[in-house]
């Protein structure tokens, strides 16, 4: 049986490492992941949520109702689109003045759109609707899963690597400053958001994925949606 082919659209390379770790815990057989965004040969799209927005906009320009129908994206068994729920705190002007104009012309749902947290799914649902709008998708296709951690994917990493009862775990899905707080921990616990440090922890995230699912409602949601698509 051949490996599954996974296409990932993500904010950045560290996010891709966490998503890959989760998929290793969830998918029924080995897979090869292709990072469509950010993609090193296409730096013009940028990184962060603005890069995801530009990728979605480019896809929408091709006029397909599903990623699965796009002939420029052939042969994938799974598409994952990632952006963090903290995008709900942002505005289209944070990407570029041109995006403000496009948002108006294309009638995208407005930003910012933050919903009080807890519960975390308020802002998550708002951002999920915006990702679909950016890509002109009426709904995710049969092989497409949206990955929207709250407030950021750092929560999933922290849940995997910090000891039970750690002070950062109490409101982990509602912490807008988690990245900085992870980087300010004592040396033995400290995690900086670098590709090297995230790669070093990737296997630990995979092994601890059941714990991540227990502590992060959006990791549980992502897991259930992956299993439903992959089986």
Q: What is the chain's mean pLDDT, rounded?
A: 96
Mean pLDDT across the stretch 188-192? 94
Q: Phi first, then psi: give them for residue 189, nearest 5 degrees.
A: -110, -15
User: Is the pLDDT score of 55 beyond 80?
Assistant: yes
Q: How far apart are CA 67 and CA 46, in angstroms?
A: 21
Instruction: Please report the DSSP string for 169-194 in residue order.
Output: GTTGGG-TTHHHHHHTS-TTT---S-
- Containing structural domain, residue 9: 4-153+217-230
Q: Is residue 23 part of a domain?
A: yes
Residue 20 is assigned to a structural domain of this protein: yes
- pLDDT tens string 137-182: 999 999 999 999 999 999 999 999 999 999 999 999 999 999 999 9
Indicate if the pLDDT at residue 1 is higher than 80: no
Q: What is the pLDDT of residue 15?
A: 98
How many domains does the chain contain in total? 1
What is the per-residue pLDDT for 43? Answer: 86
For the stretch 73-107, pLDDT in tens is: 999 999 999 999 999 999 999 999 999 999 999 99
9 beta partners? 37, 81
Question: Residue 177 falls within a domain, yes or no?
Answer: no
Give CA–CA dist 140/33, Å, rounded. 19
Query: Is residue 175 a part of any domain in this protein?
Result: no
Query: Among candidates 124, 131, 126, 180, which has minimal Cα distance to 149?
Result: 124
User: How many percent of the chain have pLDDT more than 70?
Assistant: 99
Domain contains 167? no
Q: Is a pLDDT exceeding 90 seen at residue 231?
A: no
Q: DSSP states of 101-129 as a string? A: HHHHHTTPPPS-----SSSTHHHHHHHHH
Confidence bin at 2 (pLDDT 50/70/90): confident
Q: Is residue 183 part of a domain?
A: no
pLDDT at 110 over 80: yes
Report residue 41's pLDDT band, with 50, 70 and 90 as the boundaries.
Answer: confident
Alpha helices by DSSP H, the chain: 13-26, 48-61, 97-105, 121-134, 154-161, 178-183, 195-207, 209-215, 217-230
Asked if residue 24 belongs to a domain, the reply is yes
d(CA 125, CA 1): 36
Q: What pLDDT is stored for residue 129 in this prediction?
A: 98
pLDDT (tens digit per residue) in 13-26: 999 999 999 999 99
Residue 168 maps to a domain: no
């Amino acid at each position: 049986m051949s490996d599954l082919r996974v296409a990932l659209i993500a904010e950045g390379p560290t996010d891709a490492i966490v998503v890959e770790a989760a998929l290793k815990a969830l998918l029924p057989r080995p897979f090869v992941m292709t990072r469509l965004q950010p993609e090193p040969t296409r730096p013009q799209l940028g990184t962060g949520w603005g890069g995801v927005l530009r990728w979605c906009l480019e896809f929408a320009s091709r006029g397909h109702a599903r990623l699965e129908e796009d002939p420029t994206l052939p042969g994938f068994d799974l598409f994952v689109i990632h952006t963090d729920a903290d995008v709900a705190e942002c505005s289209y002007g944070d990407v570029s003045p041109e995006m403000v104009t496009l948002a108006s012309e294309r009638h995208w749902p407005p930003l910012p759109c933050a919903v009080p947290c807890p519960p975390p799914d308020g802002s998550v649902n708002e951002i999920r609707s915006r990702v679909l709008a950016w890509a002109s998708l009426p709904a995710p296709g049969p092989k497409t899963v949206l990955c929207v951690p709250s407030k950021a994917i750092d929560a999933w990493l922290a849940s995997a690597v910090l000891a039970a009862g750690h002070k950062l775990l109490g409101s982990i899905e509602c912490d807008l400053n988690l990245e900085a707080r992870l980087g300010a921990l004592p040396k033995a616990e400290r995690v900086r958001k670098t590709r090297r440090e995230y790669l070093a922890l990737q296997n630990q995230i995979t092994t601890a994925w059941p714990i991540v699912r227990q502590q992060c409602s959006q990791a549980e949601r992502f897991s259930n949606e992956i299993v439903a698509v992959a089986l």
